[in-house]
Amino acid sequence: MTIDLDAYLLRIGHAGGRAPTLDTLRAILAGHTETIAFENLNPLLKWPVRLDVGSLQRKMVQGGRGGYCYEQNILLSHALHALGFEVTGLAARVLWNAAVAGAIPPRTHMLLRVDIERRPWLVDAGFGVMTPTGPLQLKAEEEQATPHEAFRLLADRDEFVMQTKIREGWRSLYRFDLQAQLLPDYELANWYVSTHPESRFVNGLMVARPAPGRRYTLLNNEFTVHHLNGGTKRRMLASAAEIRTLLVGEFQLTLPDTPELDSALRRLIAPAR
């Protein structure tokens, strides 16, 4: 099965050019990241996360849902292939908010390399709270602007470290190399993160969506709006109904019609302090 490119482009609101150029890539990534939210409702509900193109389209295009890195970037890669881009899947070790400094995490994140006129670019629609909203040159030690924060790559032997600039400091997102990954590689890692009893994707809710001038994030029942001018507003949600309202509103999700959802959302409410 191949992607329904017209339906995908309609979903992300792209009515512009379709030539495999850098301008097209920028427009596609901006539309995708601002339209299809990062979310992990399937693992939270103990539902399978399927990575075949048919399932991804039914969920994220026709179904109005979002997804996490494998779903986001595999769907995006199918669309970019259909537009004529040269796309390679990569894998990364997540460093963001690492529980133990210096620990070596597994390769549980997916990103894409896109080559345009023999120049390599990095594209990642699925890092949640700090998803880069613009393509980045595969070039180390250079600050690069996106529609949101600035990013840079640090070279470390045969690997790169992706960093983002928050206020005046740099924070590492993940470490990766350029070894190509195939769908079976992602299916194995996806099964681990979506089913392991200690996985953060199984035990809590994580939702994120960038919008012009800001980023929305939801961690369990803590809702945060990060403004690009540096201001941040947080509030705690007190009910499953409040969480639902945000998921449909700020995160633009079509929620699954199942009683399991409200039960899962009620379990997220933090005890009163």
Domain that holds residue 131: 20-29+49-184
Ramachandran angles phi, psi of 170, nearest 5°: -105, 135
**Short-list 207, 208, 209, 189, CA closest to 199:** 189
For 56-87, give one letter per residue: b (16+ CB within 10 A) or e.
bbebbbeebbbbbbbbbbbbbbbbbebbebeb
Summarised one tens digit per residue, pLDDT across range 179-188 is 999 999 999 9
Furthest-apart CA pair in the chain: how many Å? 56
Say if residue 101's pLDDT is above 70: no
In a domain, 232, yes or no: no
Q: What is the mean pLDDT of residues 123-142?
A: 97
In a domain, 162, yes or no: yes
Summarised one tens digit per residue, pLDDT across range 207-254 is 999 999 999 999 999 999 999 988 999 999 999 999 999 999 999 999
pLDDT, residue 272, reads 44
In a domain, 143, yes or no: yes
pLDDT, residue 1, reads 83
**Short-list 240, 241, 202, 208, CA closest to 223:** 208
- The number of domains in the chain is 1
Q: What is the mean pLDDT of residues 166-172?
A: 90
pLDDT, residue 177, reads 97
Beta strands in the chain (DSSP E): 38-39, 86-94, 107-116, 119-123, 136-137, 151-156, 159-166, 169-176, 206-211, 214-219, 222-227, 232-236
pLDDT band at 88 (very low <50, low <70, confident <90, very high): very high
pLDDT, residue 28, reads 98
In a domain, 223, yes or no: no
- Residue 7, Ramachandran bin (φ over 0: left; ψ between -120 and 50: alpha; else beta): alpha
**Which amino acids are annotated catalytic?**
69, 109, 124
In a domain, 163, yes or no: yes
End-to-end CA distance of the chain: 51
Task: Give the chain's length.
Answer: 273
In a domain, 227, yes or no: no
- Spacing of C-alpha 33 from chain mean position: 8
pLDDT, residue 167, reads 83
Say if residue 121's pLDDT is above 80: yes
Summarised one tens digit per residue, pLDDT across range 32-70 is 999 999 999 999 999 999 999 999 999 999 999 999 999
| CATH code for position 134 | 3.30.2140.20
In a domain, 111, yes or no: yes
pLDDT, residue 74, reads 98
pLDDT, residue 99, reads 58
In a domain, 271, yes or no: no
Q: What is the pTM of this model?
A: 0.96
